[in-house]
């Protein structure tokens, strides 16, 4: 389905290396505070070389975000397709997010990026404003269906809670915990906090952080 790295052209490999590096640096220091020269340098080329692949800084940012989203969505789909039980996205999305945050807590990757960029992008006119707006809306919808499923599947079933509101709260909680965790990792257990929230709702999420999921194969 996808080519193995060895069979990629040199250009394609460079392009991916740039995207990977950009993700790393933007995750560390946001968008406005990072220069193309630095991204390029850490990717082993000059900034002029980088601009051979992307028309500019905005293009790099948005390409990176969209590419990353695509990979995430594909990972979820393939997990569902190969799943041992769950046969739709809403049946695994809440667990997926828990597992995702658990993984990020032990090996930070994309989460700090999203939190930093999403706040930075809240100013209308920011190159990623539309992207993030749409992303949050879609995520909230998907997660709302996930909560509706979990409420029905819970033992006993959860009554009287609005899945949309819970989706909103869950996302907010995850984002906000990320900030506290980045500032003070020792005193912030994101997974425990999220599982506790699910517990308050009446969802027994014991062990959700440990569900087996195929790892990302991207560099």
Residues that bind DNA (CB under 7 A): 9-11, 14, 34-38, 40, 44-49, 51-53, 55-58
Position 175 contacts a second copy (CB under 8 A): yes
Residue with tokens 């999420």: 205
Contact pick of 1, 82, 183, 219 for a second copy (by CB under 8 A): 183
CB nearer to DNA: give 21 or 142.
21
Contact of 208 with 96, CB cutoff 8 Å: no
Contact pick of 48, 66, 137, 153 for a second copy (by CB under 8 A): 137
Position 136 contacts a second copy (CB under 8 A): yes
Q: What is the dihedral of CA 14, 19, 25, 31, to 10 degrees?
A: 130
Helices 111-120/129-153 angle, 10° precision: 120
Residue from 97, 62, 95 nearest 203 by CA: 95
Minimum CB distance to DNA, residue 189 (Å)? 36
Position 88 contacts a second copy (CB under 8 A): no
Minimum CB distance to a second copy, residue 117 (Å)? 9
Residue with tokens 């996808």: 2
**Residue 38 contact among a second copy, DNA, none, beta carbon within 5 to 8 Å by kind:** DNA
Q: How far apart are CA 210 and CA 111, in angstroms?
A: 18
Minimum CB distance to DNA, residue 41 (Å)? 9
Say how many residues touch a second copy, by CB under 8 A. Answer: 44
Minimum CB distance to a second copy, residue 48 (Å)? 23
Contact of 88 with 143, CB cutoff 8 Å: no
Q: How far apart are CA 178 and CA 156, in angstroms?
A: 31
Q: How far apart are CA 42 and CA 19, in angstroms?
A: 11
* DSSP H/E element including 113: helix 111-120
Minimum CB distance to DNA, residue 128 (Å)? 14
**Residue 218 contact among a second copy, DNA, none, beta carbon within 5 to 8 Å by kind:** none
The alpha carbon dihedral of 217, 132, 171, 114 has a sign of positive
Near a second copy by CB under 8 A, which window of 31-39, 56-64, 66-74, 209-217? 31-39
- Residues near a second copy, by CB under 8 A: 28-33, 112, 115-116, 118-123, 129, 132-133, 136-137, 140, 165, 168-169, 171-177, 179-180, 182-184, 187-188, 192-193, 196-197, 200-201
């Amino acid at each position: 389905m996808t080519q193995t790295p060895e069979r990629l052209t040199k250009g394609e490999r460079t392009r991916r290396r740039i995207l990977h590096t950009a993700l790393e640096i933007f995750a560390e220091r946001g968008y406005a505070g990072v220069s193309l020269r630095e991204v390029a340098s850490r990717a082993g080329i000059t900034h002029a070389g980088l601009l051979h692949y992307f028309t500019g800084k905005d293009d790099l940012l948005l390409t990176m975000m969209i590419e990353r989203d695509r990979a995430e969505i594909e990972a979820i789909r393939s997990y569902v397709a190969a799943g041992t039980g769950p046969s739709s996205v809403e049946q695994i999305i809440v667990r997926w997010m828990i597992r995702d945050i658990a993984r990020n807590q032990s090996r930070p990757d994309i989460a700090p990026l999203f939190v930093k960029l999403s706040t930075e992008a809240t100013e209308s006119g920011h190159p990623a404003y539309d992207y993030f707006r749409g992303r949050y809306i879609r995520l909230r919808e998907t997660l709302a269906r996930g909560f509706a499923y979990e409420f029905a599947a819970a033992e006993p079933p959860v009554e009287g809670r609005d899945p949309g509101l819970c989706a909103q709260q869950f996302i907010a909680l995850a984002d906000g915990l990320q900030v506290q965790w980045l500032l003070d990792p020792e005193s912030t257990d994101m997974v425990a906090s999220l599982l506790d929230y699910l517990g308050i709702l009446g969802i027994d999420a014991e062990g959700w952080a440990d569900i087996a999921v195929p790892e990302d194969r991207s560099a």
